[in-house]
Amino acid sequence: MKLTSREFWTLIHGLVIGSAFLLAFAGGLAGLWSLRSELVTSAGLAERMRRLKIGIVAMALAAWATVLTGTYIVYPWYREKVATSAKSILLANPDTADWHEFGMEWKEHIAWISPMLATVAAFLVVYYGTSLARNPKLRNIVLVVFVGAFATAAVAGLFGALITKAAAVK
Amino acid sequence: MVDTQTTTPASQGGAEPASGPAAAALLGAGIGTFVLGIFTTWAEASTGMHDWLQWNDRVGPLMGKTILGVIAFFASWAVLGFLWKDKNPELRPILIATAALIGAGFVLTFPTFFQAFA
């Protein structure tokens, strides 16, 4: 049982950091959804807010780590100008060419929207803190931005998994 | 005996912070996404732009597009954040502008759209 350096980094990019992102999203969504002044006491709010800030900042950091490792470590291997690269293998067969032409082309761009949205969501939670519980409009804005960060990452992650299944980076 | 601190309703808060910093961050994300989209479609439409954005041969033009998008995001956020630091701009038009910019950026980074310019 052995992983090559490329397989290792693909695993770090997609599975390890991606899982951290998913975990932080699930916790953050639950925390944001229930962040309502009528549901929690001031002491409960302070405790919940500390956890929410850590989780949402972790999600933003995971989003940046995912796109940076993907773009600067894994992607150059994917697009190498050799016959054995994943991109060359996909394009060589008309039945798999769309995995690159559509899937990878969409994934490599949309993925970069996620860290920007996640950073804004993290900033809003850290900056406005407990006042979000008293301001449903602003809390809803944070929720939309937060879900947007997840949705764009989900598209990238889904295509990443499917493309790897069609032609893995080796 | 009930601890009064733990039963104080959270709604009894102090003064609300200004909306300016939120507006700046949101609009910054819209501008960053839009700039990413503009360079994605532009690189497809122009070989010169495609080659200029290729700041590293191994990464290709994706490097230029994404770095410029991220710079636009942080720079516009910083400038707007400075201008609106203690201001309370109406959030509705900011949200509409942000949604429009993100929507446009989304379309401009969608392969079916930008490949039509190849």
Nearest-Cα distance to chain B for A81, in Å, is: 9
From B41, B85, B40, select the one nearest B67 (Cα to Cα): B40
From B64, B42, B40, B67, select the one nearest B52 (Cα to Cα): B64
| Number of domains into which chain A is organized | 1
Nearest by CB to B9, from A41, A120, A148: name it: A41
Confidence of residue A34 (pLDDT cuts 50, 70, 90): confident
Q: What is the pLDDT of residue A37?
A: 81
Above 80 in pLDDT, residue B40? yes
Looking at beta carbons, which residues of chain B come within 8 Å of A44? 6, 10
Confidence of residue B14 (pLDDT cuts 50, 70, 90): low
Looking at beta carbons, which residues of chain A come within 8 Å of B106? 110, 113
Taking the model in full, what pTM does it have?
0.92
**B117 DSSP 8-state letter:** G
Identity of the highest mean pLDDT range in A7-16, A26-35, A105-114: A105-114
From A123, A138, A137, A134, select the one nearest B14 (Cα to Cα): A134
Above 80 in pLDDT, residue B5? no
What proportion of chain B, given as a percentage, has pLDDT over 90?
85
- Is there a contact between B27 and B81 (Cβ–Cβ < 8 Å)? no
Above 90 in pLDDT, residue A63? yes
Residues of the domain holding A34: 5-166
CA distances from A126 to A49, A54, A119, A138 (A): 9, 9, 10, 13
Whole-number Å distance between alpha carbons of A76 and B25: 31
pLDDT tens for residues B59-114? 999 999 999 999 999 999 999 999 999 999 999 999 999 999 999 999 999 999 99
Angle in degrees, CA A61, A62, A67, rounded to 5: 100
Residue range A116-120: mean pLDDT, rounded: 98
What proportion of chain A, given as a percentage, has pLDDT over 70?
100
Confidence of residue B2 (pLDDT cuts 50, 70, 90): very low
pLDDT tens for residues A43-58? 888 888 999 999 999 9
Q: What percent of chain A is helix, strand and coil (3-state, nearest 5)?
A: 80, 0, 20
Looking at beta carbons, which residues of chain B come within 8 Å of A127? 17, 21-22
More confident residue, A100 or A170: A100
Hunting for tokens 């969501």 — which residue is that?
A121
Nearest-Cα distance to chain A for B114, in Å, is: 10
B117 touches chain A (CB under 8 A): no
Q: What is the pLDDT of residue B1?
A: 40
* The total number of residues written for chain B in this structure: 118
Whole-number Å distance between alpha carbons of A28 and A143: 9
Confidence of residue B7 (pLDDT cuts 50, 70, 90): very low
Above 80 in pLDDT, residue B9? no
Hunting for tokens 């850290």 — which residue is that?
A126
What proportion of chain A, given as a percentage, has pLDDT over 90?
79
Torsion sign, CA atoms A28, A143, A53, B6: negative
